[in-house]
Chains A and B, each alone.
Chain A
Amino acid sequence: MKLTGAQVIVKALEHEKINTIFGYPGAAICPFYNALLDSDIKHILTRHEQGAAHAASGYARVTGKTGVCVATSGPGATNLITGIATAYMDSIPMVAITGQVSTEMIGRDVFQEADITGATAPFCKHSYLVKKTEDLPRVMKEAFYIASTGRPGPVVVDVPIDVQNGETDFEYPESIEIRGYKPKYKGHPMQIRKVAVAIKEAKSPVICAGGGIISSGASELLLKLAEKCNIPVTTTLMGKGAIPCRHKLNLGMLGSHGSYVANYAVHHADLLIILGARVGDRAMGTAYKIAEKATVVHIDIDPAEIGKNIHATIPIVGDAGAVLADLLEIVEESSFDEWNKTIERIKTEHPQKYVLREESEYVNPKYVLSVMSDMVDEDTIVTTEVGQNQIWAANYFKTKKPGTFISSGGMGTMGYGLPSAVGAKIGRPESKVITISGDGSFQMSMQELGTVKQYRLGIKIIVFNNSRLGMVRELQKVKYCGRYSQVYMEDNPDFVQLVGAYGFRGERISRNSEVKGALERMLSDDEPYLVECIVDPEERTL
C-alpha cells in the first residue's frame, strides 16, 4: 500500500498507540495536518508552540507515554525549543515533529527556514532531518524507541514538505536495531551485592531518590527497600513524590532549597545511596564534600551521570526499578535505631514551619499549600511555575503519589506551569489538576487559557501575586544589597477579570482566614477556577 509521508507519520503515531498530540499548524506541516483529519488521533491546538511542547511534557509525565508535539518550520519550530530543552533536562520522553522547507530549498534561507536539528542538537536526545519519504517509517519507529527507552528524552523529527508529500510503501518496522544505542537496564550483580554489604555495614545511611524512580515506576520498590532497612529517604525536586511526603522515613527535598533535616542527613551520612538522580548543583552543591565522608552508591541508567558530579564508590549502571528489585532480594533487614532517632530529633528541632499572622493583609503561600494538601485526594496533580512559588510548592505541598508533582526541575523554565497542566489534565481527565504560579510566570504562558477554554479543561489555577519577580528580587536583596533591578510588576492585570474574559470564575484573597473558603470553592467542581492570593513581597522562599 502506498502512503504519503504525511500519512506515514500519522500511521506511525497510531502504531505507537498515540491518541493525543499537541501542536500548532503552518504551511510546511500542512500535509501532516491534512492526513491527520483521517485519523482518530486527538489534536490539541495550543496557543503557542512552546505551550504544545510543555503540554506534551505534562502529558508524558502523568501518563508515562511519550508526549508528541508538532509545529511548522521556522518560527514554529524555534518556538518549540524551550519546551524541548526543558524536557531534555528533566528526561521526559517526547517526540517533536516539525515541518521543514522542501529538501531542494534547504540551505537557501527561504521563507520560514530554520535549522531546527542543528539548533536543538545540544539538548535533544537525538534528531532526524528526514530526506527521503521511504525513511520515514524507520525514523518514526526509532524516534519513539529512543525517546522512551534508556534515559528518556526528547527526539526531534524534522520533515521537509516534499518528504511529507512523497509516496512510499508503508510497513511499520516491528523490530529495531540501532547499533549505537543499547540501553542497559539490569545492574551488575556483583555491584548490587556490594550495596547490600554496604548497607549492612553502615551506621547512618540515606537514600537520595531522583526523577529516575518516578520514570522507571520504581516507587513501590523504593518504599520496600526504605522500610525493610529503615533508611531515611530524601528526594530531589524531580524525585518529589517518589516516596509519599508524609511517610515517616521521608526527609523532604534536599539541597539549597530543601529541608534542614534532609541536608543534615546527607552531610552526616556514612552511606549515601543515590537512586535515579544526577546530583545536580541545586541538590548537592558540595557533592565532593559529601563524598569525602560517605560511601557513595550511585545508581543511574545513564552511565555518563555516574562520576560526573560526584565520585561513586559503588557505581551501578541500570534502571532504578531493575536494580532495586535485585537488591531487595539479597539485602538484609536493619533498623538503624540510633541514626533514625537522631534524624527524628533534628526533624523536631528544625521543622519546616511558617508563622501565620491572622491580622496580616497578605496570604501566606506556605499556609495555602499546607491547607490544600489536606483538601485534595492522592490523585490530584500539581504543576508549578518557577520562582518562589515552585519552592513553596515543593516544600509545603504534600505529594502522596509518584508522578503527581510536575515541575521544571533542571531548566527552571518559567511558563511551564499552565501548559503542563493542560497536558496533565488531558492525560488524566479524572484527576484534579492544580497549577501553582507566581504573577510573573503566569504571564509567560497565560495565552494557554485559550486552550483551557477550547477543550473545557477543569484546571485550577493559584496565582501567588507578590507583584514581583519574587525569587530574583530575593536574590537581589541578599546578594546585591537590595539594589532591585527590573523585578517590579506593579501593573499586573486583574487576574480574576482576565480569566473572566475566558468565561472562568475566580476570586482574589488577601487574608489567611479566606484561604479555606476559597480553596473549597475552587475544588468544588471540575470547572476552571483561579484563586489569586495577594502575597507579601517580603515573604521568603524558605
Chain B
Amino acid sequence: MAKHTLSILVENHAGVLSRVAGLFSRRGFNIDSLAVGVTENPDISRMTIVVDGDDYIVEQVSKQLNKLVDVIKIKNLDDSESVSRELALIKVSATASTRSEIVQLVEIFRANIIDVSRNTLTIEISGDTDKVKALEDLLRQFGIKEIVRTGLIAIERGNKVINAGEK
C-alpha cells in the first residue's frame, strides 16, 4: 500500500484534532503520522497527515474528513509536486572510539549535534522521510537510546498554495 500525504486546513478550535483523529479510528483508517500547527492565518491550522492505503481508502479518508464542519480544505499532495520534511532528534550512545565516526556521519547528512554528554550525542536531523531513515539506520550500530520525531510536513512546489478559499 502506498503512502499519501494529505494537507488539511482546519478551524483553529479546541476539539478539532480529536474529531479528525477520532474519524480515523472510527472508520478503520491508519494514520502514519500527523503534524499540526497554526497557519499564516491564526484562525486556521494546518494538519499534515500521512495515511497508508490504496486509492479507495484515500478517497474515503478525504471525503469523510471533508464532512467535518471544521475541515475547510483538503489536498492530497503529489510527491513530485511537493517538498516534505520531518524532524528527528536521535540520542545515540557514543564512546571515545565511536564519537568521531558519528560526527562524520552527522556532517555528511548535514545534521546537527545539539547535545553532548560523556557517553551520548543527540543529533538533530531534518529532511524527507527517506533521509531521516537512512541516518537512523546508520546510527543504529552505535546504539540508539531514544528517537523523537515530528510527523511529516509538506508544502507544494512553486507558486501553488492551499488556502481557505472554496471547499
Contacts and interface: CB of A to CB of B under 8 A. Distances in A.
Interface of A: 117-118, 121-122, 125-126, 129, 146, 178-182, 302-304, 307-308
A180 B22 contact: no
B66 A304 contact: yes
Interface string B138-167: 000000000000000000000000001011
A180 B15 contact: no
B70 interface: yes
B131 interface: no
Interface in B69-88: 69-72
B69 A178 contact: yes
A93 to B, nearest CB: 15
Contact of A304 (B22, B64, B167): B64
Nearest to B64: A304
Contact of B15 (A117, A302, A304): A117
Contact of A303 (B15, B66, B166): B66
Contacts of B64: 304
A146 B26 contact: no
Contacts of B68: 126, 180
Interface string B1-45: 000000000110011001100110010000000000000000000
9 contacts: A117-B15, A121-B22, A129-B14, A129-B15, A180-B70, A180-B167, A303-B63, A307-B56, A308-B60
B118 interface: no
Contacts of B70: 180
A179 B69 CA distance: 8
A465 to B, nearest CB: 38
Contacts of B166: 182
B146 to A, nearest CB: 31
A302 B23 CA distance: 16
A308 B29 CA distance: 14
A302 B67 contact: yes
Contacts of A304: 60, 63-64, 66-67
Contacts of A178: 69
A117 B72 CA distance: 20
B71 A180 contact: yes
Closest 10 CB pairs of A and B: A304-B63, A126-B69, A180-B72, A122-B26, A181-B69, A180-B69, A182-B167, A180-B71, A179-B72, A121-B22
Contacts of B164: 179
A185 to B, nearest CB: 15
Contacts of B101: none
A29 to B, nearest CB: 21
A122 B14 CA distance: 17
Contacts of B69: 125-126, 146, 178, 180-181
A330 to B, nearest CB: 28
Contacts of A303: 63, 66
A306 to B, nearest CB: 8
A180 B72 CA distance: 4
A296 to B, nearest CB: 16
Nearest to B62: A304
Contacts of B66: 303-304
A126 B70 CA distance: 9
Nearest to A306: B63
B22 A122 contact: yes
Nearest to B70: A180
Contacts of A129: 14-15
A117 B22 CA distance: 12
B59 interface: yes
B55 to A, nearest CB: 10
Contacts of A146: 69
Contacts of B71: 180
Contacts of A181: 69, 167
B80 to A, nearest CB: 25
Given A180-B69, A180-B167, A182-B167, A121 B63 contact: no
A213 B134 CA distance: 56
A180 B63 contact: no
Contacts of A182: 166-167
Given A121-B22, A180-B167, A307 B72 contact: no
A117 B26 CA distance: 15
Given A180-B69, A304-B67, 12 more contacts: A118-B18, A121-B19, A126-B69, A129-B15, A179-B72, A180-B10, A181-B167, A182-B166, A182-B167, A303-B63, A304-B60, A308-B60
Given A117-B15, A178-B69, A180-B72, A307 B59 contact: yes
Q: Which of B26, B63, B67 has the most CB of A within 10 A?
A: B67
Nearest to B56: A307
A180 B11 contact: yes
A121 B63 CA distance: 17
Nearest to B9: A180
A383 B167 CA distance: 39
Contacts of B11: 180
Interface string B81-108: 0000000000000000000000000000
A182 B63 CA distance: 13
B128 to A, nearest CB: 30
Contacts of B67: 302, 304
Nearest to A142: B69
A307 B56 CA distance: 8
A251 B72 CA distance: 42
Q: Which of A121, A146, A307 counts the most B-chain CB atoms under 10 A from its CB?
A: A121
A323 to B, nearest CB: 19
Contacts of A121: 18-19, 22
Contacts of B23: 122
Nearest to B65: A304
Nearest to A311: B56
A307 B55 CA distance: 11
A179 B59 contact: no
A5 to B, nearest CB: 19
Contacts of B167: 179-182
Nearest to A155: B69
Contacts of A125: 69
Nearest to A304: B63
